[in-house]
Amino acid sequence: MIDYSLVNIDFGAEGSSEIYQNLKTLYTTPAGTVPFDRDFGINIELLDAPIPLAQGRLIVEYTEKTEKYEPRASVKEVNFEVNPKSGKLIPKVVIEIVPES
């Protein structure tokens, strides 16, 4: 599971630590904010959709972006903490490190 709390970037990270760090960067970056790669990040416009629709679209977004930007990992499942009264939606992305061939 990716922890979304703020941490310092470890420029010397290797192996699974590097993969988790890369995914955290990917998952916490709004799409369209990275010059020369506007597709990098997660489409935050999804968050304006009704909760069930946003959940479905976010699952697809996390899966496709992980496959594209960090092929050393695969998304196993995406769970959500939902507060329907406040509309707060907190994704929990469970990943698996893909064994090297």
**pLDDT tens-digit map of 8-62:** 788 888 888 999 999 999 999 999 999 999 999 999 898 888 889 999 999 999 9
Question: The whole model's pTM is what?
Answer: 0.85
- For tokens 């990275």, what's the residue? 34
Give the C-alpha distances (Å, rounded to integers) separating 82 from 29, 54, 55, 88, 90: 21, 11, 10, 6, 6
- Quote the DSSP letter at residue 36: T
